[in-house]
Amino acid sequence: MNMKFTLSAIVMATSFALSAQTFTLESISVPADKVAKGLDGSTMHTELDNAVTLNLPVKWDTSFGGYWANGWAISQKYDSTREDSDAKKHIFSAITYKGYMGSNTFAIGQRGAHASLNDGSNRNFETIQITNSTYTTNSMLKGDLFAKAFGGVTGNDEDSLVLIIDCFDKANSDLLKTVRVILADFRFTDNSKDFILDTWKEVKVTGDSLVFDMISSDNNQFGMVTPGYYAVDQFSTSGKASVSSNRIVQSKIFPNPSNGGITVRSEVNINQIIIRDLNGKLAFTAKGNQDKSMSLNLSALANGIYFIEIATPNGSGMQKLVKK
């Protein structure tokens, strides 16, 4: 069955300014040396600032004695020790020891976690601070029961860990932007350039809803085996452009998934198409035909997930493309 996706490229003609807001997570109640992970029955961590609410959902599963199943843990656990990987000791710690700029509180996220601003806030996310968790860092450094040490025995294995952030506009269910944050990269010919992110990194985002995922070079038949945890802090927001001043450019990509051939249709002439893999590497580019419909043969691409950008005179947008 063909799946059709709508691509919305939003062009700002004018906008109105609202003062920037920053959510530091400090107002979320967490006792010293403790972590809030939904054990108390909570399903949402929230921080309020002038009628704007940051929502960080959490799921606690009561099966098997109870465990943190998904979403966010709000932490004041501090341990940045480089040592053998230990989930019980390190899972709720950031490799920076404390939060951004030495703050006391930060969040640990899992794959599939999402964050959102309340409906009607008229605000978008602007930046987030991101770094590695201590647990994931030590696993990549030394390996563990399930995962390999990045670089392998020789140090030459081309390993990487990437955090994927999909930025959505909730009201229109539009994917506005996909951001890739490299948490570790061992793909350099010169091994001295290999790195694991161990400082807070500012990442530019947008939209009022964010969904987080991760990809690793270390996988088995069940999927990623590198521990899927990361740390975030200090969400900043800015005012949205006036809805009346936005112009929506509608486009469709089909079939999706595709065996190789796809068709792109747009209400605006297509200038260029750019396709990148999950690591952000350029996989395909094509000059537009200055028409509203364009067919592409992608049979040469390896099977997997790609991000396709369609550039038009009125803006551009991003969608996921599955090649099978």
pLDDT computed for residue 239 by the predictor: 87
Which of 23-27, 61-65, 207-211, 281-285 bottoms out in mean pLDDT, i.e. has the lowest?
Answer: 281-285
User: Structure pTM?
Assistant: 0.75
Long-range contacts of 321-324 (CB under 8 A, 24+ apart): 321/253, 321/256, 321/258, 321/262, 321/275, 322/256, 322/257, 322/258, 323/257, 323/258, 323/259, 323/260, 323/298, 324/257, 324/258, 324/259
pLDDT computed for residue 11 by the predictor: 31
255 and 197 in one domain?
no
Higher pLDDT, 199 or 250: 199
pLDDT computed for residue 14 by the predictor: 31
pLDDT computed for residue 282 by the predictor: 81
* pLDDT surpassing 70 at residue 129: yes
The residue-averaged pLDDT of 26-51 equals: 92
251 with 265: CB under 8 angstroms?
Answer: yes
Domain containing residue 192: CATH number: 2.60.120.1350
* Last-in-domain residue among 239, 258, 289: 239
Domain containing residue 307: CATH number: 2.60.40.3080
119 and 264 in one domain?
no
Tokens of 109: 């996220």
Domain count, the chain: 2
168 with 209: CB under 8 angstroms?
Answer: yes
pLDDT tens across 208-242, in order? 999 999 999 999 988 999 999 999 999 999 988 64
pLDDT computed for residue 207 by the predictor: 94
* Last-in-domain residue among 224, 239, 254: 239
134 and 282 in one domain?
no
66 and 168 in one domain?
yes
Residue 9 confidence class, pLDDT cut points 50, 70, 90: very low
* Last-in-domain residue among 200, 216, 239: 239
pLDDT computed for residue 130 by the predictor: 98
255 and 228 in one domain?
no
Q: What average pLDDT is seen over the chain?
A: 87
269 and 197 in one domain?
no
The β-bridge partners of 8 are 250
264 and 189 in one domain?
no
The residue-averaged pLDDT of 146-173 equals: 93
195 and 91 in one domain?
yes
* pLDDT surpassing 80 at residue 160: yes
Residue 19 confidence class, pLDDT cut points 50, 70, 90: low
Domain range spanning residue 261?
5-11+246-323
List Cα–Cα distances, 199 to 60, 132, 135, 157, in angstroms.
Answer: 29, 8, 15, 24
